[in-house]
Amino acid sequence: MARKFFIGGNWKCNGTLEEVKKIVSMLNEAEVPSENVVEVVVSPPFVFLPLVESLLRPDFQVAAQNCWVRKGGAFTGEISAEMLVNLGIPCVILGHSERRSLLKESNEFVGDKVAYALSVGLKVIACIGETLQQRESGSTMAVVAAQTKAIADKVSNWTDVVLAYEPVWAIGTGKVATPGQAQEVHLGLRKWLHDSVGAEVAATTRIIYGGSVNGANCRELAAQPDIDGFLVGGASLKPEFADIIRSLTVMKSQL
Ligand code: PGA
């Protein structure tokens, strides 16, 4: 079964009200393939979510960058999954490496978050990826498999999960994984899903790549058979995000 190409824009902790409105106008004017071909989700900081949701073109969706691990309550500073649902926010990014490393989110905690968010009806972009040290010591596959297993242990239905492979050494560094490096891990992850979860989940789950994706390197990456889209940080704030959204169709039309 074909996996629909998926492009996420992770705005991280960036933007003023004026800048956010500008980015939305840029997105609204961009000429991109129809939502039947490419699914586009942008993820502004929490405080801008309702505004972006109200201004954004209807064929794009919004995602939060995080949410609390369980039902809301006395958790100062947190945003619950139920609040996102209540505001009509359909999707959330969980387990981003910046949260894993800076806020010490463990594999198990991320697995719990993914399961809870799914249980209230959110779609989840679940992030995994190895550090440079882990790659150099040859443990890339073991690291991403353990991160994925912590999710698989808690999740039975993968329909609403997009897995984002984001090598930590490639995030925000300008050092993108080569198409071969990315494809190798994506294929490994698909095999892991096949053996540990099931053939159907392995065949249908989108595995997207993140880490220094830009308008210049996206097409070669998009051409890899197991790369089903991108999670884009820095370049999602710029006009080249539209080129990234178009990367699959450009690639196909060049064949
Ligand atoms: P980057 O970030 O594109 O700026 O490297 C990707 C991400 O962190 O999702």
pLDDT digits (tens, 9 = 90+) for 104-122: 999 999 999 999 999 999 9
Active site residue 53: no
Active site residue 96: yes
Residue 198: CB atoms within 10 Å: 12
CA of 74 to the centre of ligand 1 (A): 32
In degrees rounded to 5, what are phi and psi of residue 207? -115, 110
Which residues make Cβ contacts (< 8 Å) with residue 51, sequence separation at least 6? 17, 20, 21
Q: Which of 53, 96, 98, 105 is catalytic?
A: 96
> Both tokens of residue 178?
């080569």
pLDDT band at residue 249, thresholds of 50, 70 and 90? confident
Q: Whose CA is nearest to atom 6 of ligand 1?
A: 233
What average pLDDT does this structure show over 115-140? Answer: 98
Yes or no: say if 177 and 171 are a contact pair by the CB < 8 Å rule. no
pLDDT > 70? residue 254:
no
- Per-residue pLDDT, 253: 61
Pocket (CB within 6 angstroms of ligand 1):
10, 166, 171-172, 210-213, 231-235
How do residues 173-227 score in pLDDT, each as one tens digit? Answer: 999 999 999 999 999 999 999 999 999 999 999 999 999 999 999 999 999 999 9
pTM exceeds 0.95:
yes
- Per-residue pLDDT, 255: 46
pLDDT > 50? residue 45:
yes
How do residues 194-205 score in pLDDT, each as one tens digit? Answer: 999 999 999 999
**Which ligand 1 atom is at minimum distance from the Cα of 127?**
9
CA of 220 to the centre of ligand 1 (A): 17
- Per-residue pLDDT, 2: 84
How do residues 228-248 score in pLDDT, each as one tens digit? Answer: 999 999 999 999 999 999 998
> Both tokens of residue 69?
């691990």
Which residues make Cβ contacts (< 8 Å) with residue 110, sequence separation at least 6? 94, 95, 100, 126, 147, 150, 151
**Which ligand 1 atom is at minimum distance from the Cα of 173?**
5
Domains detected in the chain: 5-250 (3.20.20.70)
Q: Which residues pair with 5 in a beta bridge?
A: 38
